[in-house]
Amino acid sequence: MPDPSPDSAARRTRILDAAVRVFATRGHTATRIADIAQEAGVAYGLVYHYFGSKDALLDTVFDENWATFAEVVEGVAASDRSARDKVRVVLDYALASAETYPERVQVILLEYGRRARLGQALTHAHVARVVATLRALFQGAAARGELAPGAVPEVLPVVLLGALQSVIVAMLVDREPLEAAAVRSTILSLLSVSDASPEE
């Protein structure tokens, strides 16, 4: 069998991108394979040729994008920065992604919610990586007294992800006029104020 042609890979990507757009616009349930195929400009059956099922397609979108996020988070966590700066960088990355690829971010956040409903969000491999990395990060910060008093490092990852989701969805979907800078500084306030770097 010949190696996957560039054409083939391009087709796959086109379908994946189309899927992101349609899932973001309509949500999982209301999305029809026919919509994705049309949006991608390919035949109906080709979606199944590449992805096997609607759920598998959504899983792929979810996996690939959370994997990217997990890598970013892990990279930042491994870098040589203060805990506060690490969190700031992660937040900036998330907020910037939301501005640059709103549909992509929307899908993975909303699908995160859908999985939460099924008890399959925090157990998802890449999500779990993010949570674990953040937890370690916050535990280190706690040990150095860098957390706000009362903030519990084991709870913070879930709070952070929830706050991020809520805020981004509010901005993207509900068109709530929240400023990225305000969002960043608000969430950052969960970390200790002692290291009050100039926010802007």
Partner DNA sequence: TATGAATGAGCTTTCATTCAT
Partner DNA sequence: AATGAATGAAAGCTCATTCAT
Give the footprint of DNA on this chain (CB under 7 A).
1-2, 4-5, 7-8, 11, 30-34, 42-46, 48-50, 52-55
* CA 103 from centre of chain: 11
Check binding of 137 to its own copies (CB under 8 A): no
In the bound complex, what is the minimum distance in angstroms from residue 59's beta carbon to DNA? 11
Judged by CB under 8 A, the residue of 121, 134, 137, 141 near its own copies is 121
Amino acid symbol at 70: A
Backbone angles phi, psi at 147, to 5 degrees: -90, 155
Residue among 31 and 192 whose Cβ is closer to DNA:
31
The string of DSSP letters for 16-70 reads HHHHHHHHHHHHHHH--HHHHHHHHTS-HHHHHHHHSSHHHHHHHHHHHHHHHHH
The nearer residue to DNA, 33 or 116, going by C-beta atoms, is: 33
Considering the complex, what minimum distance in angstroms separates the CB of residue 43 from DNA?
A: 3
User: Exposed e or buried b for every residue in 12-35, given b needs 16+ CB within 10 A?
Assistant: bebbbbbbbbbbbeeeeeebebeb
Residues that bind its own copies (CB under 8 A): 27, 29, 110, 113-114, 116-123, 147-152, 154-156, 158-159, 161-167, 169-170, 173-176, 178-179, 182-183, 185-190, 193, 196, 199
